Amino acid sequence: MTAACPACVAIPDVEDLEIGPGLKFSIPAIHCAACIGKIERGLRDVVGVNSARVNLSLKRLTVVGAANPEHIQDALTDLGFEAYPLDIEALNTARDTVGRSLLTRMAVAGFAMMNVMMLSVAVWSGAADATRDLFHLISAAIALPVVAYSGQPFFQNAWAALRVRRLNMDVPISLAILLASGMSLFETLNGGHQAYFDAALSLTFFLLIGRYMDHRTRSAARSAAKELTALEVQKAQRVVGANIETVPVVDLAVGDVISVPTGARVPVDGVLLSLTGLMDRSFLTGESAAVNATQNAPLQAGEINVGATITLQATAVGEDTSLRRMAQMVETAENSRNSYTALADRAAQIYAPAVHLLALIAFVGWVLATGNARHALNVAIAVLIITCPCALGLAVPAVSTAAISRLFAMGYLVKHATALERLAEVTRVVFDKTGTLSIPTINLPEAMGQTDRAVAKALAQASNHPTSRRLVTALGGVDAADVSDIHEAAGQGISGTSLGDTVRLGRGAWIGADFDGLGFRAGNSEPVPIDVVERPRAGAEDAVRTLRLPAEIITGDAQEPAMAFGKRLELPVSFNIRSEEKLRLVKAMSDQSDRVLMVGDGLNDTAALAAAHASMAPASALDASRAASDVVILTDSFAELPLALKVAGLSRKLSKQNFAIAAVYNCIAIPVALAGLATPLAAALAMSASSITVLLNSQRVRYTK
Amino acid sequence: MNVLVVLIPISLLLGFIGLLAFVWTVRSDQYDDDKGNAARILLDD
pLDDT at A365: 92
Nearest to B34 among A33, A57, A108 (CB): A57
- One-letter amino acid for residue A362 of the chain: A
Select from A31, A101, A111 the residue whose CB has the most chain B CBs within 10 Å, as the one to mutate to test that interface. A111
Question: Using CB atoms and an 8 Å cut-off, which of residues 215-254 of chain A contact chain B?
Answer: none
Which one of A198, A214, A432, A605 is the catalytic residue? A432
Is pTM beyond 0.80? Reply is: no
Query: Can you point out the beta strands (E) in A234-323?
Result: 235-240, 243-248, 257-260, 269-272, 276-280, 291-294, 298-299, 304-305, 310-316
At A567, is the secondary structure helix, strand, or coil? helix
A342: which DSSP letter? P
Residue of B nearest to A107 (CA): B19
User: What are residue B16's DSSP bridge partners?
Assistant: none
Nearest to B11 among A54, A104, A118 (CB): A118
Are B12 and A115 in contact (CB < 8 Å)?
Answer: yes
pLDDT at A470: 75
Range of weakest confidence among A90-99, A185-194, A378-387, A675-684: A90-99
Q: Which residues of A touch B27 (CB under 8 A)?
A: 100
A432 is catalytic: yes
Q: Mind telling me how many Å the CA of B14 is from chain A's nearest CA?
A: 10
Residue of B nearest to A96 (CA): B32
Q: Give the alpha-carbon dihedral of A473, A475, A478, A484, to 10 degrees.
A: -90
Q: For A261-319, how does the pLDDT look when each residue is reduced to its tens digit (9 = 90+)?
A: 877 788 888 899 888 888 877 767 766 667 788 888 888 887 888 777 888 898 888 77
Q: Which of A655, A656, A603, A601 is nearest to A632 (CA)?
A: A601
CB contacts < 8 Å between A and B, how many? 56
pLDDT at A6: 42
Phi-psi category of residue A580: left, alpha or beta, with phi > 0 → left and psi -120 to 50 → alpha = alpha
Element (H, E) at A43: helix A33-43
Range of weakest confidence among A118-132, A323-337, A360-374, A470-484: A323-337
Contacts of residue A180, Cβ cutoff 8 Å, sequence gap at least 6: A196, A197, A199, A200, A203, A381, A384, A385
pLDDT at A364: 93
Query: CA-CA distance, A642 to A24, in Å (whole number)?
Result: 35
Q: Which residues of B touch A56 (CB under 8 A)?
A: 33, 35-36, 39
Are A41 and B35 in contact (CB < 8 Å)?
Answer: no
- Is residue A446's pLDDT more than 90? no
pLDDT at A94: 59
Residue of B nearest to A36 (CA): B40
How many residues can be counted in chain B?
A: 45
- Is residue A443's pLDDT more than 80? no
Q: Which of A302, A280, A103, A279 is nearest to A205 (CA)?
A: A103
Residue A98 forms contact with B (CB below 8 Å): no
Range of weakest confidence among A110-114, A580-584, A656-660, A677-681: A677-681
Q: Which residues of A touch B30 (CB under 8 A)?
A: none
Are B36 and A104 in contact (CB < 8 Å)?
Answer: no
Query: CA-CA distance, A582 to A528, in Å (whole number)?
Result: 39
Query: CA-CA distance, B19 to A394, in Å (whole number)?
Result: 25
Residues belonging to chain B with any Cβ–Cβ distance to chain A shorter than 8 Å: 1, 4, 8, 11-12, 15-16, 18-19, 22-23, 26-27, 31-36, 39-45
Question: Using CB atoms and an 8 Å cut-off, which of residues 111-150 of chain A contact chain B?
Answer: 111, 114-115, 118-119, 131, 134, 138, 142
Q: Mind telling me how many Å the CA of B13 is from chain A's nearest CA?
A: 10
Q: For A510-525, how does the pLDDT look when each residue is reduced to its tens digit (9 = 90+)?
A: 777 777 777 888 777 7
Q: For A208-264, how does the pLDDT look when each residue is reduced to its tens digit (9 = 90+)?
A: 988 888 888 877 777 777 777 676 657 788 888 878 888 877 788 888 898 888 777
Across chain A, mean pLDDT equals 81
- Is residue A9's pLDDT more than 50? no
Q: Which residues of A touch B8 (CB under 8 A)?
A: 119, 138
Q: Which residues of A touch B45 (CB under 8 A)?
A: 37, 41
pLDDT at A10: 41
Q: What's the pLDDT band for A332 if we cut at 50, 70, 90?
A: low
Residue of A nearest to B31 (CA): A100
Q: What's the pLDDT band for A151 if we cut at 50, 70, 90?
A: very high
Q: Which residues of A touch B15 (CB under 8 A)?
A: 111, 114-115
- What is the share, in percent, of chain A residues with pLDDT greater than 70? 91
Helix axes A680-698, A373-386, angle to 10 degrees: 20
Query: CA-CA distance, A62 to A53, in Å (whole number)?
Result: 5
Residue of A nearest to B33 (CA): A57
Q: For A650-705, how does the pLDDT look when each residue is reduced to its tens digit (9 = 90+)?
A: 999 999 999 888 888 888 888 888 887 877 777 778 888 888 898 899 989 888 87
